[in-house]
Structure 1
Amino acid sequence: MKKLLWLACCTLSVFGLNAQANSELTVYTYQSFVSDWGPGPALSKAFEAQCDCSVNWVGLDDGVAILNRLKLEGKRNKADVILGLDTNLIPEAEAIGAVQAHQLSLPKLAIDWQSNNFVPFDYGYFAFIYNTESLKNKPSSMSELINEFDGTILYQDPRTSTPGQGLMLWLKALYGDDTEQAWSKLKDKTVTVTKGWSEAYGMFLKGEADLVLSYTTSPAYHMVAEQENRYQALEFSEGHMSQVEVAAISATSQQVELAQQFLSFLVSAPAQQIIATTNWMLPVNPEAELPEAFSSLVTPKPLSIDQATVSQQRKAWTKEWRNAVSQ
């Protein structure tokens, strides 16, 4: 899922003492990240304890909404750190000059990473979540979901949400030129399309649909925070679209040194432990300790589409989705 709470403290010696006293770091991110049950509060407490600064979170609807905000504001944006885009949005963020090189040496990561502008802070796989107590005939493939499943689903708008965009890419990876037909079939099963993840997941928990688009890690939240096992992720035989969430220093930042310090903190083991058990994604730092529940999660075959193709085709694929669901 994305999202709850854990506390970590980091020593000053690990992250340096170069930030100016009483300075403020402004971070653009998505709303669930800074909610009371998200990583924001615990990360602020841990980071502020070692930076002698304050963190000012600006919460937006979702990852795509962050990019849209950066496009709208241009050089007038107030961000020091941009947190919550994913790898599919990197080319567009770089094309509009929204970020600058972080100039950091990162620790050994659990994923292969090459970018000099962005730092990964978690990763995962999109999946549909279901209630084992109420859904008995669950689909075991995307094909079965589209063609045979007679239940209802909730998902997010690909124009504003990275999970919504993830579903769009998932279908495109599997169906290519036939994707619009797949969308048309899904339309008849869809209760609604929400702007962001939080709204859709909240509706699902109220019983308003059989399935909701989320992550394979979402069940870990229920198992750890609620001691509840009934919510599980469907594993599809064709594979699942992967996602890596990233952070970067804004090109307009006046607090570059402090932003660098924050990015270093973000990939440290203590911060990664906070993120994994509040944002409910997989940590990029393999040294982060995880609850036992993470070992019971499904481990799907990963699917992906290269960033350049996504950047070139995202508008066309979004239009294809819009045309299919509006008919």
Structure 2
Amino acid sequence: MKKLLTFVAYYSLCLPVFAADLTIYTYDSFVSEWGPGPQLEKAFEAQCQCDLEYIAVEDGVSILNRLRIEKDRTKADVILGIDDALIEETRREGLVIPHQQPLNGLKQELQWQDTDFLPIDYGYFAFIYDSQKITTPATSLKQIIESDASIIYQDPRTSTPGQGLMLWVKSVYGEQADQAWQQLAPHTVTVTKGWWEAYSLFLKGDADYVLSYNTSPAYHVVAEGKDHYRAAQFKEGHVAQIEVAAITRTSTNPELARDFLAFLISTEAQTIIPTSNWMLPVIEGIELPEVFDQLIAPERIGFTPTEVAQQRRRWIKEWRSETAR
């Protein structure tokens, strides 16, 4: 018995010592082997002597849906991957606390003042196409909706890009949005739960266009050496997405969670994110591959988070009604 106890004590000393655990709810592509999650985890754990655990769902809207179900029973210390269009609905759940991070280091163009949600990256929703197949791409949202081009996009009930398209259609069509959904439905190949499923189908050649981001072509150039995937720029403008992180009210390690949020907007983390999550950094001074200079830079249109919170359920109901016909 004495030998066994000695062995256990020795073995315990050989194990890594973690000060605490931190559980982060995010989306599946974030934690994939090519996403930023693994690199960020390694870098932060080296600083904090803690153990990060990611729990991933299909997409950003699914994070909010899970929080609504779990409420005070949530395991999350941090939520990462909802966007600015969802912050008011998330705040209303009463499950986040102030991040206590300085905002003066963020890009001025973001005009970020929120004290509960911290931006981690941003981009613009865009339709991606293969320029080897489509030589004359659509130049407006109305043109693509009123065409017969095959489209894949994501469900606005579970996906932030899908929600982005809903806001985009509403911004351009207003009270005629129901007619736009009717026109889009016949040439919609499928509506997926999340971004990765939709983009994978597009890369297999299942559609002419897929809803993604203006930054998506950068991935193909940097990671694959392919420059034929392009983002169509629309004259009406594009809806922006700012992805955010927040600390849950029920976090058992709020100070460690704040340290993690501070890390997310550090130079080290912001250097990792653009070429792994393929979005734009939220702080100045991050050196990016040259292809980022060639991305479309759309005019920003859309709604405030408060406007989205007030109308989101009605707009989703409208989308469901018209696409189910």
Give TM class, smaller chain.
over 0.9
User: Partner of 1:308: helix, strand, or coil?
Assistant: helix
Cα deviation code 1:208-242 (max 9, x no counterpart): 00000000000000010111101000000110011
| Residue 221 (structure 1) aligned with residue 223 (structure 2) | no
Larger Rg: 2
CA distance in 2, matches of 1:287, 1:54: 29
Displacement of 1:304 in angstroms is: 1.9
Displacement of 1:308 in angstroms is: 1.1
Cα deviation code 1:161-210 (max 9, x no counterpart): 00000000001011110001001101011000000000000000000000
The corresponding residue for 1:136 is: 135
Instruction: Among all aligned residue pairs of Structure 1 and Structure 2, give the percentage whose two residues are the same amino acid.
Output: 55
Query: What is the number of equivalent residue pairs in this alignment?
Result: 307
CA distance in 1, matches of 2:60, 2:99: 20
The corresponding residue for 2:195 is: 197
Indicate conservation of the 8 Å contact 2:154/2:211, yes or no: yes
Displacement of 1:136 in angstroms is: 2.3
Instruction: Choose the corresponding residue for 2:185, options 174, 184, 187.
Output: 187
CA distance in 2, matches of 1:173, 1:246: 22
The alignment's C-alpha RMSD in Å is 1.0
Displacement of 1:285 in angstroms is: 1.0
Indicate conservation of the 8 Å contact 1:26/1:55, yes or no: yes
Indicate conservation of the 8 Å contact 1:106/1:264, yes or no: no
CA distance in 2, matches of 1:257, 1:94: 20
Displacement of 1:107 in angstroms is: 4.8
Indicate conservation of the 8 Å contact 2:185/2:323, yes or no: yes
The corresponding residue for 2:298 is: 300
User: Partner of 1:102: helix, strand, or coil?
Assistant: coil
Indicate conservation of the 8 Å contact 2:103/2:113, yes or no: no
Instruction: Report the AA paired with residue 142 of structure 1.
Output: L
Displacement of 1:102 in angstroms is: 1.2
TM-score by length of 1: 0.92
| Residue 123 (structure 1) aligned with residue 134 (structure 2) | no
Displacement of 1:150 in angstroms is: 2.2
CA distance in 2, matches of 1:106, 1:137: 42
The corresponding residue for 1:233 is: 231
Cα deviation code 1:132-172 (max 9, x no counterpart): 0011232111111122x222000000000000000000010
| Residue 59 (structure 1) aligned with residue 59 (structure 2) | no
In structure 1, runs of 5+ residues without a counterpart are: 1-19
Instruction: Report the AA paired with residue 31 of structure 2.
Output: V
User: Partner of 2:136: helix, strand, or coil?
Assistant: coil
The corresponding residue for 1:105 is: 102
The corresponding residue for 1:93 is: 90
Instruction: Choose the corresponding residue for 1:291, options 280, 289, 292.
Output: 289
Instruction: Report the AA paired with residue 116 of structure 2.
Output: N
Displacement of 1:21 in angstroms is: 4.0
CA distance in 2, matches of 1:269, 1:46: 12
Indicate conservation of the 8 Å contact 2:117/2:246, yes or no: yes
CA distance in 2, matches of 1:214, 1:171: 15
Cα deviation code 1:285-315 (max 9, x no counterpart): 1122211110010101111201111101101
The corresponding residue for 1:44 is: 41
Change (3 A) 1:56 1:285: same
The corresponding residue for 2:4 is: none
CA distance in 2, matches of 1:28, 1:212: 26
User: Partner of 1:283: helix, strand, or coil?
Assistant: coil
TM-score by length of 2: 0.93
CA distance in 2, matches of 1:307, 1:237: 23
In structure 2, runs of 5+ residues without a counterpart are: 1-16
* Larger RCO (CA within 8 A; separation ≥ 6): 1
